[in-house]
Structure 1
Amino acid sequence: MTETRILTLVGSLRAGSINRRLAETAAQTAPAGVDIALYEGLAEIPFYNEDLDVPGSVPAQAEALRAAVAAADAVLLVTPEYNGTLPAVLKNAIDWASRPYGAGAVKGKPVAVVSASISPRAAEWAHGDAVKAVGVAGGVVVESAHARFGTIGERFGEIHPAQDAEALTQLGATVHELVAAANGTLVTA
């Protein structure tokens, strides 16, 4: 059996962010035969600019992201909410992965969104914006795989999400649904 590869893009650049810890926890829930990799280097990718997106001169950091997305069977986005929307670094990653138009690395890839914030609304605006952006970019949004976490400062301030049984269950379900979508076995109603 071929290994299923899920690439995770985390919208918070802070090393100790709760969003990063949620991504790490999702990776821990991966069953045998599933590899979940957290992409490193989103901060080094220049903002998308068509003047830079020219064959033969695309920045190496953007090419690396495109190659990682292309090599993945599915993509997991983990986003905080900054000023009512998703972080620029995550939107920038979606923009680079969406090009060239109609044939970007994310086109046709199953994508799930995990959102988390300190508010009880669980980053609903960032979540919605991430879903919209990746859908417009050509990703296949797997709504049944989404997860949202609110009041994360209180909930995960003292413990890692991996120590929270409910978070483990939710993230495990996210991974399960994303894997099923990647393998073409997702059952929809």
Structure 2
Amino acid sequence: MTAIKVAVLVGSLRRDSFNRKLAKAVEKLAPEELSFEHIRIDNLPLYNQDFDGDYPPVCQQLKAQIKAANALLFVTPEYNRSIPGVLKNAIDIASRPYGSSAFANKPGAVIGISVGGTGTAMAQQHLRNILAYLDVPLMGQPEVFVKFSDGLIDDEGNVGVDSTKKFLQGFVDRYVEWVKRHVHA
């Protein structure tokens, strides 16, 4: 069976990103039939509509990586009650020019982790609004708003708290079902 390719977009550029750790944890909990590609977004120029006629090579590469994927996983921190600018910029680049979105019809999910008590609830809602417009069928449940604490997830994605690991495994199992339903439809 051919692996299901999942494009992972982590909205944090920080070296010790909690969200990158969360993405790695999800990857570790997933079955081998899913292959994850972490998409680089830190090297992109700011989106400019002038690109629409002649996209820079790095922007063409972003679009090609997303188009080659079967599914999407967005892992976002929350900055000032919304998504980080770098993530919005990557989405703008990969979805333009109008009518040529790399995201269209690819099943996806949105998750996030933060030190705040509400996790990344507001950022995820904003991201869901954006992705709905881009015709990304998003998994609704379970929602993953994780509050970070020391020892929760290490740099390799190992989850150190059993209840969190069980919760994330439930998310992963549901995500796999969601992706298969859409990829094999």
- Which residue matches 2:13? 13
CA distance in structure 2 between the aligned counterparts of 1:23 and 1:138, rounded to whole angstroms: 23
TM (norm. structure 2) is: 0.88
Provide the residue aligned with 1:107 in structure 2.
104
Residue correspondence of structure 1 range 59-70 to structure 2 within 5 A: 59-70=56-67
Q: Superposition pairs for residues 30-45 of structure 1, below 5 Å?
A: 30-40=30-40, 42-45=41-44
Report sequence identity in percent. Answer: 33
Letter in 1 for 2:56: P
Distance 1:113 1:163 in 2: 22
What letter matches 1:13 in structure 2? L
Aligned to 2:84: 87
Q: TM-score, normalised by structure 1?
A: 0.86
The equivalences for 1:145-156 within 5 A come to: 146-150=143-147, 152=148, 155-156=149-150
Equivalent residue for 2:4? 4
- SS of the equivalent of 1:144 reads coil
Shift of 1:37: 2.0
SS for the counterpart of 1:163 is coil
CA distance in 2, matches of 1:119, 1:107: 32
Q: Which runs of 5+ in 2 are unaligned?
A: none
Are 1:181 and 2:178 counterparts?
yes
Partner secondary structure for residue 103 of structure 1: coil
Q: Identify if the C-alpha distance between structure 1 residues 123 and 158 changes in structure 2 by more than 3 Å, giving closer, same or farther.
A: closer
Question: Is there any run of 5+ residues in structure 1 with no aligned partner, and where?
Answer: none
Q: Which of 152, 167, 171 matches 1:170? A: 167
Q: CA 1:159–1:30 in structure 2 vs 1: closer, same or farther (change >3 Å)?
A: closer
Secondary structure of 1:183's aligned partner: helix
The runs of 4+ residues in structure 1 deviating greater than 4 Å are: none
Equivalent pairs, count: 180
Task: Tell me: CA distance 1:44–1:82, structure 2 relative to 1, closer, same or farther (3 Å).
Answer: same
